[in-house]
Chains A and B, each alone.
Chain A
């Protein structure tokens, strides 16, 4: 159920866009109205969520240290595992965002005879996740050529580098392959790894299928199906110049692609995909471990009444006096 329902949803959404534009002539809806709506939801929702998180303060500095702290001068600090200032903490977050530092640590525990616990290295999730995210970033950047004319230099280089294999016409993008392969791995582990399958929810599968749908429809358009790229550019440029106009025929598969992207954008702020913003805010990672050196301020520091020494001495004064413990007030 938790895999079938999301899969069917994505198929249904694709059919909707295909027949909506091919048979019902709803190009304006799928090509203009829904993309605008999705964009508004994405931008508005994303910033709302970030602001909403930021409204809650960080009362305590609860860094998780994963290496030696700054201590005595002759002890070597691990700066990005136990940062002691703003810049090293920033470096730590960047290592997390760009290279998935924590996932790189991953191990897999297994029980063997003895019983013995063995921890194997387990970098597949790190690799799969990294390949997926980086491919996606490069693919998104590559798409700028549909929006911009002329195309900025670095995008031309990126494009050429990604297509260096030149084994098909048009040139095969390496990231297209990697994107689909990594997504397939991410789906497969949710099916085949007992632990992951047990914890997975329908809304873990839905974005994966959605992204697969986007990837496959894109690949189909580029390498197999026939769409009118000139019309696509016209549509996209009309959209970003806020003078939307539906151009001549493009092909249903394009609208499938665009509609799935719109769904992803609209779904994004209300889902776990917000980890994209959340990763920057995580207090166990983005704070320096300099707690004893620089006082952290809690804006709501709750007043609490402690049991004072005076109250303590009042209760135990006689016993303390007998034991010859110093007193503030003698009996």
Chain B
């Protein structure tokens, strides 16, 4: 199969001339009669059996999405129904969201995958109806009595295939839930849908392999401790080459004040590495007593995209390591879904973290009251406080070659309400900052198109289409303000936005917030800097005095 998206000009034309539900054409067939269509480039490869086995998920086997027979276990219907029953009992969200939708349609055109594909089943309401219809048929009186009239249907292998295709065409970004009058959260629906599929051994490799790696080696990429250390040290060398400053990160050091955890993407992939360099410069600048763990070397948590139990299992390492090292509190790097887990799940799942102290900035003395129980602070909060208290020596002119716009990552925006802190930091380190249109930022921000573990190459067609709304808003500021930098605080963004920009808005590069901080920091004893952290030329700075 080919998974490459069409050439950009072709796709532009296709979107412009499309005649689908989004543009007002009702399909000839009811959605539940419509045969399941597998578009190339809009589904991901199944997980390898040994990976499934290593994580203890049931029914590991070789199966292929393209084939008719998915080799389901014999009593698969029973497994699904029991799985549903169990979750209806444990989660009010699941039960309520199955029952209260009135199909008002407010969510319909809010999903980036629907906006990009026009596929009716990508409307949040229909994505949820895929599951709801089965729920009604099995668990409600009306559904049993009146069947299709009230939107109930039977569970068939075809329905399962729909689930697999469409619960893996949702990036759990929660944009739809902002507009829903009942707060129905499609991320919840998708999470339950995926959990149910896991019971039958239906899962995708791009999520499970990182989860398995993370469990064994501590990070998604499966980097073993010695290599991990080497990689960080090579970044230390890069920093020295560029600035003449030798930063000195430590590893697994007991007695450090702060444990710093960031997604491993910041260490191994361009442009994430520049963000990592930014963190290390910042910590050096303020003389922070911190350490990095090779065991808990992953901020991200692909468990979130599989099951609540897997999320808990992978997340458990953070507190476990913080306790072993005897640190006071944890500082977390820029990442989207990591922060959904840390902010909304960690304390509940793996707390209480009594062995840690309420976080107080050792530099400014500011107590982070909003993290008093979880004891983990977001780097944007930490840095915003440093800047506000005047503890950083910054020269934003060093970012004058950058004309920035800011992409709110889904989870910090819609699960944390972390909106002003990164903007405050950005305004202080960069003189040129232009917001994208208001319907595309803050709580209304659009997904990069590859969240929730869908940032894989075989999914590229869906990513370019699903990323179109985001790219379109970037295009707007690029044309109006010559924006050349898309700044974000998410490691998945840093992996997915560069190909998206290359495809739709090639004039724009992707930056992490703390890369810009690193550029602007005036370090004591530094060499004169002509290049930024990614070795792009800075604009010449005219000195006014001295």
Query: Are A and B co-members of a single complex?
Result: yes
Interface residues of A (CB under 8 A from B): 5, 49, 52-72, 74-76, 78, 81-82, 84, 96, 100, 102-103, 105-109, 111, 113-117, 119, 125, 129, 189, 193-204, 270-272, 274-275, 278-279, 281-285, 289-298, 300-302, 304-309, 312-313, 315-316, 319-320, 322-323, 325-326
| Residues on A with beta carbons closer than 8 Å to the beta carbon of B381 | 71-72
| Residues on B with beta carbons closer than 8 Å to the beta carbon of A296 | 347-348
Contact (Cβ within 8 A) A284 B343: no
**Chain B residues with a Cβ closer than 8 Å to the other chain, count:** 122
A115→B253 CA distance, assembly (Å) = 53
| Residues on A with beta carbons closer than 8 Å to the beta carbon of B368 | 72
A308→B313 CA distance, assembly (Å) = 10
A68 partner, pick from B183, B313, B372, B420, beta carbons under 8 A: B420
Q: A199-B123, A291-B374, A309-B320 are in contact. Are A116 and B472 (CB under 8 A)?
A: yes
A81 partner, pick from B99, B321, B443, beta carbons under 8 A: B443
Say yes or no for B53: interface residue by CB 8 A criterion.
Answer: no
Say yes or no for B207: interface residue by CB 8 A criterion.
Answer: no
Contact (Cβ within 8 A) B414 A323: no
Say yes or no for B308: interface residue by CB 8 A criterion.
Answer: yes
A49→B140 CA distance, assembly (Å) = 12
Cross-chain pairs A/B with CB under 8 angstroms, 23 sampled? A62-B185, A68-B420, A102-B183, A103-B181, A117-B472, A125-B105, A194-B25, A201-B149, A203-B149, A274-B100, A291-B347, A292-B373, A292-B376, A295-B374, A296-B348, A297-B348, A301-B348, A302-B308, A304-B312, A309-B317, A315-B216, A325-B226, A326-B252
Say yes or no for B469: interface residue by CB 8 A criterion.
Answer: yes
Say yes or no for B156: interface residue by CB 8 A criterion.
Answer: no
Contact (Cβ within 8 A) A109 B115: yes
| Residues on B with beta carbons closer than 8 Å to the beta carbon of A300 | 90
Beyond A198-B27, A292-B343: 11 further Cβ-contacts under 8 Å?
Answer: A65-B413, A66-B178, A66-B417, A75-B384, A84-B370, A100-B181, A107-B109, A109-B109, A115-B472, A309-B295, A319-B226
Which residue of chain A is the closest to B254 with respect to CB atoms? A326
| Residues on A with beta carbons closer than 8 Å to the beta carbon of B222 | none
| Residues on A with beta carbons closer than 8 Å to the beta carbon of B424 | 75
B183 partner, pick from A285, A308, A309, A323, beta carbons under 8 A: A285
Interface residues of B (CB under 8 A from A): 12, 15-16, 18, 21-27, 31, 88-96, 99-106, 108-110, 115, 120, 123, 125-126, 129, 140-142, 149-151, 174, 177-185, 188, 215-218, 224-226, 229-230, 251-254, 294-295, 308-309, 312-314, 316-317, 320-321, 324, 342-345, 347-349, 351-352, 366, 368-374, 376, 381, 384-385, 388, 413-421, 424, 437, 439-440, 442-444, 468-469, 472-473
| Residues on B with beta carbons closer than 8 Å to the beta carbon of A204 | 102-103
A111→B117 CA distance, assembly (Å) = 12
| Residues on A with beta carbons closer than 8 Å to the beta carbon of B469 | 109, 117
A64 partner, pick from B12, B15, B415, beta carbons under 8 A: B415
Which residue of chain A is the closest to B111 with respect to CB atoms? A109
Chain A min CB distance to B142 (Å):
5
Q: A66-B443, A116-B472, A309-B320 are in contact. Are A105 and B104 (CB under 8 A)?
A: no
Contact (Cβ within 8 A) B108 A199: yes
Q: A200-B103, A319-B224 are in contact. Are A59 and B90 (CB under 8 A)?
A: yes
A55→B88 CA distance, assembly (Å) = 10
Which residue of chain A is the closest to B133 with respect to CB atoms? A201
Contact (Cβ within 8 A) B218 A312: yes
A204→B317 CA distance, assembly (Å) = 48
Contact (Cβ within 8 A) B348 A60: yes
| Residues on A with beta carbons closer than 8 Å to the beta carbon of B96 | 53, 278, 281-283
